[in-house]
Amino acid sequence: MNRRRRVYEGKAKILYEGPEPGTLVQHFKDDATAFNNKKHDKIEGKGVLNNRISEYLFQKLGEIGVPTHFIKRLNMREQLIREVEIIPLEVVIRNVAAGSLSTRLGVDEGTMLPRSIVEFYYKSDELNDPLVTEEHITAFGWATPPELETVMSLALRINDFLSGLFLGVGIRLVDFKCEFGRLWEGEQMRIVLADEISPDCCRLWDIETQDKLDKDRFRRDMGGLVEAYQEVARRLGLHVDNP
Cβ 179 to ligand C5P shortest distance, Å: 9
CA distance readout (Å), 230 to 61, 138, 157, 214: 21, 40, 26, 10
DSSP state of 176: E
Using rule CB under 6 A, residue 99 touches ligand C5P: yes
Question: Going residue by residue from 119 to 138, which x/- string records binding to ligand C5P, judged by CB under 6 A?
Answer: ----------x---------
Q: Which residue's CB is nearer to ligand C5P, number 90 or number 147?
A: 90
Question: Going residue by residue from 187 to 206, which x/- string records binding to ligand C5P, judged by CB under 6 A?
Answer: --------------xxx---
Q: Is 224 helix (H, G, I), strand (E, B) or coil?
A: coil
Q: Which residue's CB is nearer to ligand C5P, number 100 or number 150?
A: 100
Which residues are registered as beta bridge partners of 194? 179
Cβ 170 to ligand C5P shortest distance, Å: 18
Using rule CB under 6 A, residue 215 touches ligand C5P: yes
Residue 27: what residue type? H
Residue 74: what residue type? L
Cβ 216 to ligand C5P shortest distance, Å: 7
Tell me phi and psi for residue 218, to 5 degrees: -80, -50
What is the H or E stretch that residue 7 is in? strand 6-9
Q: How far apart are CA 235 and CA 166, in angstroms?
A: 9
In this chain, which stretch among 19-27, 65-73, 92-100, 107-115 interacts with ligand C5P, using CB under 6 A? 92-100
| Binding-residue total with ligand C5P (CB under 6 A) | 14
The three-point CA angle 163-210-49 to 5° equals 65
Tell me which of 23, 100, 116, 150 binds ligand C5P, using CB under 6 A.
100
Q: Is 163 helix (H, G, I), strand (E, B) or coil?
A: helix
Tell me the residue number closest to ligand C5P, measured at CB. Answer: 99
Tell me which of 77, 82, 172, 177 binds ligand C5P, using CB under 6 A.
177
Tell me which of 166, 176, 205, 229 binds ligand C5P, using CB under 6 A.
176
For 53, counting Cβ atoms within 10 Å of its Cβ (0-12 exposed, 13-18 middle, 19+ buried), the class is buried
Residues that bind ligand C5P (CB under 6 A): 90, 92, 98-101, 129, 175-177, 201-203, 215
